[in-house]
Amino acid sequence: MSAFTDTKNKINTLTRAEYRYDGLVSAFALHYLELSDFGYKPLPDISILHEWLRHLNLEIRPQLREQWDRIGKLFGFDLGDRIQCGDTELYAIRMSADPGGSVVRIYGFGVKKDGSPSQTVTSVEIKERSKVSKLDGCLKPAELENLLFPGSSSLPRVKVFLNDQLKKLK
């Protein structure tokens, strides 16, 4: 099995795990906060959330990031770099792979005419023998870090709660 295929398969498995755990922690947090608002007792055991957060943020996401970095190295770029594959230019942020598929999909921001990142999310599929060119330009590390794992909850209250709970684990 080639390095590309091995990494693609790991990305598939880890992406699915990341998606499921992210949904679990977001749903649990919302449920917990709503029950708390209504004064419901007893509240669900918060240690369950901590275990899921620990697994998601300290195991799954670092492994997924490692596999994304491996794909980048195979094609000569780092996450955050401005890249081109075929006619598509983007600032690479994250990746995914379908089960049984032969491609890795790279997601990121499109590129404005001046070369800066746009707010439009775009993607490109790469295969084992695709040609990917690294271009001038990259996202700042702090910008990139905030974009890697945005989370599924769009509710600010849930995000704050989850971040507070995650800080307790570190």
Reported as a single tens digit per residue, the pLDDT across 23-75 is: 999 999 999 999 999 999 999 999 999 999 999 999 999 999 999 999 999 99
Q: pLDDT value at position 1?
A: 81
Q: Identify the residue with better confidence: 103 or 100.
A: 103
Reported as a single tens digit per residue, the pLDDT across 111-129 is: 999 999 999 999 999 999 9
How many whole angstroms separate alpha carbon 106 and alpha carbon 141?
A: 18
Compute CA 21 distance to the chain's CA centroid, rounded to the nearest angstrom: 12
Q: Any idea of the CA torsion for 40, 42, 43, 48, to the nearest 10 degrees?
A: -160
DSSP 81: E
Q: In what order do the strands lie in the sheet with 88-96?
A: 117-126, 104-111, 88-96, 81-85, 133-138
Concatenating the DSSP letter of every residue in 13-37 gives HHHHHHHHHHHHHHHHHHHHHHHHH
Helix (H, G, I), strand (E, B) or coil at 113: coil
H helix or E strand, kind and range, residue 12: helix 3-37
Domain ranges of the chain: 3-147+155-169
